[in-house]
Amino acid sequence: MSEPGAESDTRTRSRLRGVRLFGLRRSGAGDDRSGVSGTARLDKRTKNLAKRMQPGEIAVIDHVDLDRVAADSLVTAGIAAVVNVSRSISGRYPNLGPEILLEAGIAVLDDVGPEIFDKVAEGDVLRLDGASVYRGDELVAKGIRHTAETIEAAIEEAKAGLSAQLESFVANTMEYVKKEQELLTDGVGVPDVRTSFEGRHALIVVRGYHYREDIATLRPYIREYKPVLIGVDGGADALLKAGYKPDMIVGDMDSVSDEALTCGAEIVVHAYRDGRAPGLRRVEELGQDAVVFPAAATSEDCAMLLADDKGAQLIVAVGTHMNMVEFFDKGRAGMSSTFLTRLRVGSKLVDAKGVSLLYRSRISSSALLVLVAAALVTMVAALAVSPSGPTLMSALVEHWHSFLFWLTGFFT
């Protein structure tokens, strides 16, 4: 069974392939050389680069084990190719990003070396021909050109590395327990906030896996339960684009827009454990007040711990990491905190997909029938006491008899 949003992803990727092909035809006019051509955009942080990529361009990145979220952001940008300084799949674990890029029709060239950042400037027109990268006729880099077969083989090989990753994950988890034992067990360090959670549901949105589709499927739930809407960094922009104003924004403020930060939501800046909060300066420059939450956990963990500590009845997660493969795919030692946070709030935590499958309106069918019956009784009573009631009743009875006569005509 395909997971929710898969059909939508397929349609989106088909449209993006059309956009890329159109862009390539334009850039290649009058150029009979083979390969994929496009304008180069360079950044060692894929998350930042994806924000300024345009359809048909070539992303030059330095990203070991390209994860699914980063790959999805590049697919959404409609790029033509990825040139990676490092290996998009190193073999440590079977990460999901490279396969997503290839399925979207994006060329992937790996392991070209860091020299490309010195040789290529932003805005240069590059051409990928096989495993080589050219600027005009100049060869600027060579690497490994991936195909579906090479990615499949790399994933199979990487599965052997899962045991080592699991051991590392457990070690990181124990280290996190030592650092944040009081926060996890007693909520020590959770700041006071003005947003009221007591007895309410909290909807936490992270701009991660299938977040757009999940928000769309939750519209009836949001309309009926009116949960506290929490955007984790870019998740606040996801809520705004879906037509909702977040009640709270939690994060280090590196991937959220100024529009979101000034929308009126309460802002909680995720700080390092020693109290340093680089994102606080940006918030203050925008003239906004903020609460600081120092913790070694990730920002999405801070949002969950805060909602739990302040009395949320249920926590619904959108786009967050929910299983071991997704923890590894994030590629961060800090994901051990995510595992422990889920143990801490597990009795309240529900994934958005579970809500969309299990949610039912609180208005039952029997209640609707009773409501219709009550309306009919009210109408009959009103006709009975109205001066013109007998005339209207006679007309209704006549129409009813005419309907019955018409209906019996089909059986005689």
C-alpha distance from residue 301 to each of 184, 280, 298, 334, 339 (Å)? 10, 19, 5, 10, 9
Mean pLDDT, rounded, for 97-124:
94
User: Residue 7's pLDDT is what?
Assistant: 45
User: Residue 323's pLDDT is what?
Assistant: 56
Interacting residues of 149 by C-beta distance below 8 A, sequence separation 6+ = none
Per-residue pLDDT at 233 exceeds 70: yes
Q: Are 85 and 112 in contact (CB under 8 A)?
A: yes
Cα–Cα distance between 6 and 176 in angstroms, integer? 35
Mean pLDDT, rounded, for 212-234:
92
Q: pLDDT by residue (tens digit) across 22-56? A: 334 333 333 444 579 999 999 998 988 998 999 99
User: Residue 135's pLDDT is what?
Assistant: 95
The pLDDT-based confidence of 177 (bands split at 50, 70, 90) is low
Domain-wise residue ranges, the chain? 6-146, 163-358, 368-408
User: Residue 286's pLDDT is what?
Assistant: 95
Q: If residue 370 lies in a helix (H) or strand (E), which one and from where to where?
A: helix 365-385
Higher-pLDDT residue of 356 and 140 is 140
Q: What is the CA angle 273-274-280, rounded to 5?
A: 85
The pLDDT-based confidence of 6 (bands split at 50, 70, 90) is very low
Per-residue pLDDT at 11 exceeds 50: no
User: Residue 133's pLDDT is what?
Assistant: 96
Cα–Cα distance between 244 and 290 in angstroms, integer? 21
DSSP state for residue 161 in the 8-state scheme:
G
Higher-pLDDT residue of 234 and 1 is 234
Mean pLDDT, rounded, for 275-290:
93
Cα–Cα distance between 35 and 112 in angstroms, integer? 17
Mean pLDDT, rounded, for 303-313:
93
Quick one: how far is CA 97 from the chain centroid?
15
Percent share of the chain, pLDDT over 90? 46
Among 75-84, 281-290, 303-312, 323-332, the least confident range: 323-332
The pLDDT-based confidence of 5 (bands split at 50, 70, 90) is very low
User: Residue 15's pLDDT is what?
Assistant: 41
User: Residue 260's pLDDT is what?
Assistant: 96
User: Residue 342's pLDDT is what?
Assistant: 75
Cα–Cα distance between 242 and 352 in angstroms, integer? 15
Cα–Cα distance between 36 and 242 in angstroms, integer? 35
Cα–Cα distance between 309 and 307 in angstroms, integer? 6
Residue at token pair 């124990």: 174
User: Residue 48's pLDDT is what?
Assistant: 86
User: Residue 18's pLDDT is what?
Assistant: 41
Among 93-107, 257-271, 369-383, the least confident range: 369-383
Mean pLDDT, rounded, for 147-173:
76
Per-residue pLDDT at 8 exceeds 60: no
CATH of 6-146, one of 3.50.30.10, 1.10.8.350, 3.10.180.10, 3.20.20.70: 3.50.30.10
Per-residue pLDDT at 283 exceeds 70: yes
The pLDDT-based confidence of 184 (bands split at 50, 70, 90) is low
Higher-pLDDT residue of 250 and 332 is 250
- The β-bridge partners of 135 are 138
Helices (H), 145-231: 148-158, 162-186, 211-217, 219-225
Higher-pLDDT residue of 34 and 115 is 115
User: Residue 28's pLDDT is what?
Assistant: 38
Per-residue pLDDT at 312 exceeds 90: yes
User: Residue 60's pLDDT is what?
Assistant: 97
User: Residue 399's pLDDT is what?
Assistant: 74
Higher-pLDDT residue of 15 and 56 is 56
Residue at 199: amino acid letter: G
Per-residue pLDDT at 332 exceeds 60: no
Q: Are 111 and 143 in contact (CB under 8 A)?
A: yes
Give the global pTM: 0.60
Q: pLDDT by residue (tens digit) across 53-68? A: 999 999 999 999 888 8
